[in-house]
């Protein structure tokens, strides 16, 4: 009987250690998830800014072309 109770105690301690590891992993996964969402948002903002910059450059180029055409006439 003593042998069985020692085994049960060891297994209970192992379960406690496993539970602690799982809790730690869950916290890490949550942090990673938040970071991933932040990265996705940043990517969206950067993509939008790139589009705006391209659009602005195109508008300036078009204005420059129109001014040149106006001078030739």
Of the CA atoms within 13 Å of residue 50, those in its CB half-sphere come to 6
pLDDT for position 14: 98
What pTM did the predictor assign?
0.60
Separation of alpha carbons 57 and 49, rounded Å = 12
pLDDT mean for each 10 residues of the chain (73 residues): 93 98 98 98 97 90 74 57
Interval 44-54: pLDDT, tens:
999 999 999 99
């Amino acid at each position: 009987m003593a042998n069985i109770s020692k085994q049960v105690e060891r297994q209970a301690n192992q379960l406690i250690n496993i539970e602690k590891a799982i809790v730690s992993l869950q916290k890490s996964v949550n942090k990673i998830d938040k970071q991933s969402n932040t990265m996705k948002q940043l990517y969206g903002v950067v993509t939008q800014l790139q589009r705006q910059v391209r659009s602005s450059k195109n508008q300036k180029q078009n204005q420059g072309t129109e001014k040149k055409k106006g001078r030739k006439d």
